[in-house]
A = this chain, B = another copy of it.
Amino acid sequence: MMSKIIDGKVVAKKVLAECGQEIESLKAAGVTPGLAVVLVGNDPASMVYVASKVRKCAELGLHSRKIELPEDATHQEVLDVVLALNADTSIHGILVQSPPPPQIDEGAIVRAIDPAKDVDGFHPENVAKLALEDASGFVPCTPAGCMRLLKDAGVETSGAEAVVIGRSMIVGKPMALLLMSKEGNATVTVAHSRTKDLAAVCRRADIIVAAIGMPGFVTADMVKEGAAVIDVGINRVEDSSAKRGYRLVGDVAYDEVAPKCSAITPVPGGVGPMTIAMLISNTIKAAKQSHE
């Protein structure tokens, strides 16, 4: 079967173009959406992520602020930064890059963010809104990006059997809640490490969302002919032939799975590029809602 490769870069560009138009209208109305990104410490991966978020804001004409705190910042110092940003009317979205150093209670920091500025969608109030299907909340960026990829690829979720592999609050559970909502209307199964015959469970699926963080976990025998496969995994595997000594692979054994699929996301270039796009989209939503 000819499988459609879902190009996350193209869809992300489309989302960002929509965002660009909204930014123009907001600016015309005197509002410049603002995103604050808080980085504690100097984890190299986090530094790269934060830099790319700030760069994307600049490209789009969004106001952004990067706040860097040293590796040994106290919990109170981080909290104070968040509280100041909550009070700052030029800032509509606040993101504290994960993971912070161990002396920071990340859960407490997330709960301290004003839910109306919680563009990551991890505050309990937004978690509840997702479960309650209250559209005023913020949906976590990665599952929101997956839904958008499915939509853009023309994959019908209504009535489909969807299997989500993984039950984290970052991806698995919100993804399941989105798919089973009145908007998604899929019949959703959440599979995980304790699932007995995971291959058989996956073979039932019209849509598979893999979010387990294990390279090449989903193999061809686990995929029904014609299924759509969304690969959330981004795993580093050693590769001496690669410039950096490693390469990025997903949770899906792409080469063997792709030929069976109706549609599939590659890694990299699938779900990855969507995350920043959905973050920008959430920031615009926050700016809009703050001026309603």
Contact = CB atoms under 8 A, between A and B. Distances in A.
* Size category of the binding interface on chain A: 20 to 34
B190 A180 contact: yes
Nearest to A184: B194
Interface in A159-189: 159-161, 167, 169, 173, 176-177, 180, 185, 187-189
A125 B115 CA distance: 12
Interface of A: 124-125, 127-129, 131-132, 158-161, 167, 169, 173, 176-177, 180, 185, 187-192, 194-196, 201, 204
A187 B180 contact: no
A167 B195 contact: no
B187 A131 contact: no
Between A124, A132, A177, the greatest number of chain B beta carbons within 10 A of the residue's beta carbon is seen for: A124
A152 to B, nearest CB: 21
Between A158, A160, A187, A195, the greatest number of chain B beta carbons within 10 A of the residue's beta carbon is seen for: A187
A195 B169 CA distance: 25
B201 A191 contact: no
Contacts of A161: 196, 201
Given A185-B194, A194-B158, A195-B187, A169 B127 contact: no
Contacts of A180: 167, 173, 190, 192
